[in-house]
């Protein structure tokens, strides 16, 4: 005999209480004995990200979510919540002192999933009630979350579906949605337009996957004197290493070598959607570092847009080549601020690991502001030195510089930054981010796969810059 379905509760919104370690004992006193006993039996101590779900008298659920010690609070802990909560609409109860914007953004980051290739993607079942936010706050959260999702989607998409042409298509979508101008120069036209290094890196790719240079221009309405900000992103759709081919261990993740382009575009979208008062330029050299008879060779010497000739000591140091042309283009705008994003070196990981992004900048004021913004938005960055003592490592016997630094300098992320510095605009400040753009360790809210880094810190910097 089939049993009758249980009667659904009259009230359907569940409640989640975010609690600090410091407060568990005091809060537990107010619980019903059965609930308190359950909490104790499960050893719930509000460690960051821990969740316990309790039944409530009215038929709804009451969840307790751990935030760890109050003095070490990080709103990103909320990334771990959406994937752990049971199905339903959830109302959040938090200490009134906590920033709701950061919490709602963290929820969105934790709710992200890359489902493009799944026949039956697992839908997220928990929904966060956002009625505590006003309309402007909802839009701000949505723009921030969308920027992070765009960067992650682009990086997660493999190179067969995210080649140079698809990077261009993503840029066109962003430009069109925001009323920005977009110009694209592709294939052999790059030579005529004086992007020789972009062409040299990308020319070995198959038809349809030709190299291109994408330029988005957007001026905040009614602000003709707003500062000119250029975002540059390394868009290597796939990095085989070229003729200096990578071993399979090093090639496996190289679909993410367009992470810089994804970040520049995502940040551009966020800036345009929220109308920051800047004159914005987004520059994306999009190429595939492929292998064919036409590929650039180790020992080739190529010209660059700005003039200096470059000896190709290693075809796998391709990112700095395309960025040399892109930074030279950036300089032509005489910007007040230039930021470049690139998955540029393996050495950056050795220095700081996957979660902390090294950045390079010679402008002490911008460095301080960026550090403050990074801490305020829990977006970890670490300043590295543009140590001039290592500049000679880029000397070439027959060209103006070489793309593979001499071994004695050892600091691969630093010498790559020094290479870029030769081409960076001399007007205004320049900041270079050596990204990883990937989360290698899976846990609730942080799936293995693409990670958006530096977006919040840089957005904060630019917002305060204007
Ligand atoms: N895309 C890689 C850098 C990279 C590797 C980033 C792994 C993230 C994870 C870049 O094009 C590269 O291969 N750089 C070389 C430069 C070297 C040949 C001078 C590197 O870092 O080993
Ligand atoms: Zn490479
Ligand atoms: Zn690369």
Whether 197 shows a pLDDT value over 80: the answer reads yes
Nearest CA owner, ligand 1 atom 17: 317
Residue 318 Cβ inside 6 Å of ligand 1? The answer reads: yes
d(CA 145, CA 51): 23
Residue 434 Cβ inside 6 Å of ligand 1? The answer reads: no
Whether 5 shows a pLDDT value over 80: the answer reads no
- Identify the bridge partners of residue 390 per DSSP, sorted by sequence position: none
Show the tokens assigned to 265. 């575009």
Nearest CA owner, ligand 1 atom 21: 345
pLDDT of residue 171: 99
Atom of ligand 1 nearest to the CA of 246: 13
Choose the residue to mutate in 311, 345, 419 for probing ligand 1, maximizing ligand atoms within 8 Å of C-beta. 345
pLDDT of residue 124: 81
Residue 343 Cβ inside 6 Å of ligand 1? The answer reads: yes
Question: How far is the centre of ligand 1, averaged over its atoms, from the C-alpha of 411 (Å)?
Answer: 13
Q: pTM of the full predicted structure? A: 0.96
Residue 351 Cβ inside 6 Å of ligand 1? The answer reads: no
Choose the residue to mutate in 248, 344, 420 for probing ligand 1, maximizing ligand atoms within 8 Å of C-beta. 344
* Burial call 335-374: b when 16+ CB within 10 Å, e when fewer: bbbbbbbbbbbebbbebbebeebbbbbeeeebbebbbebb
Question: How far is the centre of ligand 2, averaged over its atoms, from the C-alpha of 344 (Å)?
Answer: 8
pLDDT tens, position by position, 100-153: 999 999 999 999 999 999 998 887 889 999 999 999 999 999 999 999 999 999
Question: How far is the centre of ligand 2, averaged over its atoms, from the C-alpha of 289 (Å)?
Answer: 8
Whether 10 shows a pLDDT value over 90: the answer reads no
Per-residue pLDDT band for 7 (boundaries 50, 70, 90) equals low
Show the tokens assigned to 96. 């009134």
- Decide: residue 448, CB within 10 A, 0-12 exposed, 13-18 middle, 19+ buried: exposed
Nearest CA owner, ligand 1 atom 19: 404
pLDDT tens, position by position, 60-109: 999 999 999 999 999 999 999 999 999 999 999 999 999 999 999 999 99
Residue 412 Cβ inside 6 Å of ligand 1? The answer reads: yes
Nearest CA owner, ligand 1 atom 16: 317
Per-residue pLDDT band for 52 (boundaries 50, 70, 90) equals very high
Atom of ligand 1 nearest to the CA of 289: 11
Per-residue pLDDT band for 194 (boundaries 50, 70, 90) equals very high
pLDDT of residue 12: 78
pLDDT of residue 122: 83
- Identify the bridge partners of residue 280 per DSSP, sorted by sequence position: 218, 229
pLDDT of residue 219: 98
Whether 23 shows a pLDDT value over 80: the answer reads yes
Whether 6 shows a pLDDT value over 60: the answer reads no
Residue 347 Cβ inside 6 Å of ligand 1? The answer reads: yes
pLDDT tens, position by position, 282-309: 999 999 999 999 999 999 999 999 999 9
pLDDT tens, position by position, 400-426: 999 999 999 999 999 999 999 999 999
Residue 287 Cβ inside 6 Å of ligand 1? The answer reads: no
- Mean pLDDT rounded to a whole number for the chain: 96
Question: How far is the centre of ligand 1, averaged over its atoms, from the C-alpha of 257 (Å)?
Answer: 9
How many other C-beta atoms can be found within 10 angstroms of the C-beta atom of residue 257?
27
Residue 319 Cβ inside 6 Å of ligand 1? The answer reads: yes
Positions annotated as catalytic residues are 246, 320
Whether 208 shows a pLDDT value over 80: the answer reads yes
């Amino acid at each position: 005999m089939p049993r009758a379905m249980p009667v659904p509760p009259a009230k359907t919104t569940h409640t989640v209480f975010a609690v600090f370690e410091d407060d568990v004992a005091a809060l537990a006193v107010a619980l019903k004995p059965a609930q308190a006993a359950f909490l104790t039996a499960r050893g719930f101590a509000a460690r960051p990200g821990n969740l316990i779900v309790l039944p409530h008298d009215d038929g709804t659920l009451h969840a307790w979510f751990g935030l760890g010690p109050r003095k070490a609070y990080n709103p990103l802990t909320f990334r771990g919540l959406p994937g752990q909560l049971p199905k339903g609409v959830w109302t959040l109860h938090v200490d009134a002192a906590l920033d709701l914007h950061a919490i709602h953004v963290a929820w969105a980051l934790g709710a992200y999933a890359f489902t493009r290739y799944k026949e039956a993607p697992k839908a997220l079942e928990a929904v966060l009630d956002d009625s505590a936010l006003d309309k402007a706050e909802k839009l701000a959260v949505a723009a921030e979350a969308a920027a992070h999702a765009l960067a992650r989607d682009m990086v997660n998409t493999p190179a067969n579906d995210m080649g140079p042409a698809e990077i261009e298509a993503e840029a066109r979508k962003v430009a069109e949605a925001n009323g920005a101008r977009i110009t694209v120069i592709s294939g052999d036209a790059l030579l005529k337009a004086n992007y020789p290094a972009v062409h040299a890196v990308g020319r070995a790719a198959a038809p349809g996957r030709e190299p291109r240079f994408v330029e988005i221009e957007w001026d905040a309405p009614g602000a003709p004197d707003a500062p000119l900000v250029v975002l540059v992103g390394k868009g290597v759709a796939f990095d085989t290493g070229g003729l200096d081919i990578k071993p399979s261990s090093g090639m496996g993740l190289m679909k993410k070598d367009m992470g810089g382009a994804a970040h520049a575009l995502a940040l551009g979208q966020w800036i345009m959607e929220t109308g920051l008062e800047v004159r914005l330029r987004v520059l994306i050299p999009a190429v595939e570092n492929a292998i064919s008879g036409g590929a650039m060779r180790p020992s080739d010497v190529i010209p660059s847009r700005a003039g200096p000739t470059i000896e190709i000591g290693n075809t796998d140091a391709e990112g700095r080549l395309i960025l040399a042309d892109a930074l030279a283009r950036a300089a032509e705008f005489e910007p007040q601020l230039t930021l470049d994003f690139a998955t540029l070196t393996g050495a950056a990981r050795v220095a700081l690991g996957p979660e902390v992004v090294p950045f390079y900048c010679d402008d002490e004021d911008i460095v301080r502001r960026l550090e403050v913004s990074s801490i305020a938005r829990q977006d970890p960055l670490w300043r590295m030195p543009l140590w001039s003592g290592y500049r000679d490592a880029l000397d070439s016997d027959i060209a103006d510089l070489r793309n593979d630094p001499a071994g004695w300098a050892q600091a691969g992320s630093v010498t790559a930054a020094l290479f870029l510095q030769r081409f960076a605009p001399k007007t205004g400040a320049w900041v270079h981010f050596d990204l990883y753009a990937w989360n290698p360790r899976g846990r609730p809210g942080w799936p293995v796969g693409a990670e958006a880094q530096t977006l919040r810190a840089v957005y904060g910097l630019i917002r305060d810059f204007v």
